[in-house]
Amino acid sequence: MVSISTLLRYVGCRMEYAARVGMKSYERGAKDVDIMKNFFQGKLTFLHFNKGEEMAPTIGSQGGTLLVRKIPVPDAKRVFVGDLVVLKDPANSDDYLVRRLAAIEGYEMVSTDDKDEPFVLEDDQCWVLADNENIKPKEAHDSRTFGPVSMTDIVGRVIYCLRNAVDHGPVSNSQFSMRYDSPILEVELDVDEMVKNHKA
């Protein structure tokens, strides 16, 4: 049973989401923006299956079914360093990657290789990294190989991971994000549905 305070916070999240989707549609030239339709339509989350060594141990190498909070307008006020994000793969925009947000615009990036010049991430740029420290940077398929990515390529933040039917739980993100996402997690988490959709 969800508490009244959690439900009110969830309604606030839905209102903000509806306003953001409406604003995005308006900026793209839509003339009739129905915020209430956006408010009542669908969930604030979606399920995404991720497989590979890059994000172990956060996501098991056998794969994990992830509950992802949708972020229609990603920026430095809504996505934070430390967050586990789903983003469009720079190598193929039809595919998605799950990586840890390591730096955002304004951060100075300094390489461990003395040959590389330091640089500052520009407006709307971010730097993403794989969690697995045991794989080589070239195998990690992250910003160390493809460089900075646009914040607008981020489609959501991972809030829960199901590795298998008995190994699952909330994902560690920035403190602000975890507090901000908690009502969505309480209202929209359905472990049975995640187990049913699990591919591993």
What distance in Å separates the CA atoms of residue 44 and residue 139, rounded to the nearest whole number?
32
Count how many residues are written for the chain.
200
**What is the chain's alpha carbon radius of gyration, rounded to the nearest angstrom?**
18
Catalytic residue of the set 54, 78, 100, 157: 54
Active site residue 100: no
Q: 97 exposed, middle or buried (CB, 10 Å; 0-12, 13-18, 19+)? A: buried
What distance in Å separates the CA atoms of residue 100 and residue 154, rounded to the nearest whole number?
11
Active site residue 20: no
Catalytic residue of the set 14, 78, 99, 100: 99
Report how far apart the first and last C-alpha atoms of the chain are (Å, whole number). Answer: 30
| Residues acting as catalytic residues | 54, 99
